[in-house]
Structure 1
Amino acid sequence: MSKAYIFTSYAHEDEALKTEMDKYLKVLKRSGKIDTWNDRALIPGQEWDKTIMDELNKANIILLLVSVDFNASDFIWEKELAEAMRRHEEGTAYVIPIILRECQWTSLPYAKLQALPRNAQPITEFANRDSAFTEVANGIERLVDYMLTK
């Protein structure tokens, strides 16, 4: 594998936080270690449901941007999360929960996975969000480096 392909699953209510996180992944993109995709890359005329699932199935890292809105989304729950966890179980993708905002999540299927930031502290609760996003980016880079050397 020459680079990792990252799919980001998120609720549109969290778009500002997703956009902020994307900036922290830019270093990995510029280094040639990753490519990323999220639904804002859809182009007019594409079948959004099919394209989203195709891109999710291409990814070897799936980021779950966890918030109350993420957990409340029927599309995420029925489609993206179901497929992400299926791929995790079969060992074809790494799934990383990234806790954006405080919410109930510890009884959900992804709760068994190591989350970011450390100790699953919500990003919005950090006194310095730069520290939180940097910690997330460093964690993702550790996984990517591990995958690239495997």
Structure 2
Amino acid sequence: MTTEATSTASTASTPKSLKLFYCYARADKANRDELDNHLSNLKRSHQIASWSDREISPGVEWETAIDKELNTAHIILLLVSSSFMSSDYCYGVEMKRALERHKAGKARVVPILLRTVDWEDAPFSKLQVLPANAKPIIRWQRRDDAFEDIAKGLRKVVKELQILLKNEEERLTLNNLKRYEEALFAFDQAIQLNPTNALTFYNKGVILRYLNRNNEADVAFKEAKELGDSL
């Protein structure tokens, strides 16, 4: 199998962590850190990789870094509080972009209610929120119970997205197979027109190898070698 084919096959079968992005106000950093700790099980099992602005290295343009991560995240958490609602950047920039990606089906936005605040009719108000029953963390008798509820809810989101991504990979794989079958047909047509072209036989062998039609691939490679040796 060629390097390209091996790479394609391994990419399709390699599990990838879902990227999780925190959209939060600076005043809620402690809550963000506590939530991230409660997501450790998902992170240790490589199901998610979380990111926030504290990952930005010194000297890096912070807005560019945030845009890059926000635009590639699978899951975007809106950490809702009065501080979040009053932040022009969180509310007007990050949340706006997050909801655009959610609407386009490119990310899943999950509002997390940290503190009591009026969020009725907010742009995210139609989305299912966490913790359960739209009860902000601050109202729970035990904070750990609230964070556990959030972690379990996000685990469900992760499982759903993993299934969706797997289905998409399978769809792309089927499309690739269709293209390889079309290429194989084209090589057969070319061989009929010029049965002495060693390169055509070699390329046909590469396609057959990718399709796991190994016996046919061996025949094509043998023919290519014999034609090449005769030149």
TM over 0.5: yes
Is residue 10 of structure 1 aligned with residue 57 of structure 2?
no
Q: Are 1:113 and 2:127 counterparts?
A: yes
TM-score computed with the length of structure 2 as normaliser: 0.64
Question: Which residue, 79, 83, 87 being the options, matches 1:69?
Answer: 83
Give secondary structure in 2 for the equivalent of 1:111: coil
Q: Percent identity?
A: 43
- Partner residue in 2 for 1:26: 40
Q: Which runs of 4+ in 1 moved over 3 A?
A: none
Normalising by the residue count of structure 1, what TM-score does the alignment of the two structures yield?
0.97
* Alignment match, 2:185: none
Matched, 1:37 2:51: yes
> Structure 2: which 5+ runs fail to align?
1-14, 165-231
Larger radius of gyration: 2
Question: Which has the larger share of strand?
Answer: 1
Counterpart for residue 163 of structure 2 = 149
The answer on 1:48 being equivalent to 2:65 is: no
- In the other structure, the counterpart of 1:87 is 101
Distance 2:71 2:120 in 1: 25
**C-alpha displacement at 1:143, in angstroms?**
0.7
Aligned length: 150
Tell me the CA shift for residue 3 of structure 1.
2.2
- The structure with the greater share of residues assigned to helix is 2
* Displacement of 1:111: 0.5
* Deviations 1:77-114 (CA, angstroms, capped at 9, x unpaired): 22101100100111100000000000011210000000
Rounded Cα–Cα distance in structure 2 between residues aligned with 1:146 and 1:64: 19
Where does structure 1 lack aligned partners over 5 or more consecutive residues? Answer: none
Letter of the structure 2 residue corresponding to residue 102 of structure 1: T
